[in-house]
Amino acid sequence: MSVKVRLDTGEDAEARAFDGAVLTVLSPRAFAPGAPIRFIAATDRDARNFEGRVIGSKRLQNAHFEVRMRFVNLRRDDRQLLVEQLGN
């Protein structure tokens, strides 16, 4: 399962996996390690703002990037929402 996200730079991306600490996002652009990343995640219930720091980006064959990130401040209910939507 995945969650649609809109990066603060305006591009659409897709959150693919969340293990409780690291979120993996399929993005149309790469981010440098340590770079801040902000986005809005739209679920079937509502839209929420998130902020984190990039661990790394890996180019995929389809001209997208797999971006791994850690959250800067993640509320318990937001963490639970991501676990429910993306699995563990």
- Between the alpha carbon of residue 80 and those of residues 10, 19, 20, 28, 84, the distances in Å are 26, 11, 9, 26, 6
- Give the mean model confidence (pLDDT) for residues 67-80: 92
Phi, psi of 82, rounded to the nearest 5 degrees: -65, -40
Q: Where does the pLDDT of residue 88 fall: very low under 50, low under 70, confident under 90, or very high at 90 and above?
A: low
Q: Which of 24, 7, 37, 17 is nearest to 85 (CA)?
A: 17
CATH code: domain of residue 46: 2.40.10.220
Q: Where does the pLDDT of residue 8 fall: very low under 50, low under 70, confident under 90, or very high at 90 and above?
A: very high
Provide the residue range defining the domain that includes 75: 3-86
- Give the mean model confidence (pLDDT) for residues 40-54: 88
- Give the mean model confidence (pLDDT) for residues 28-48: 90
Q: How many domains does the chain have?
A: 1
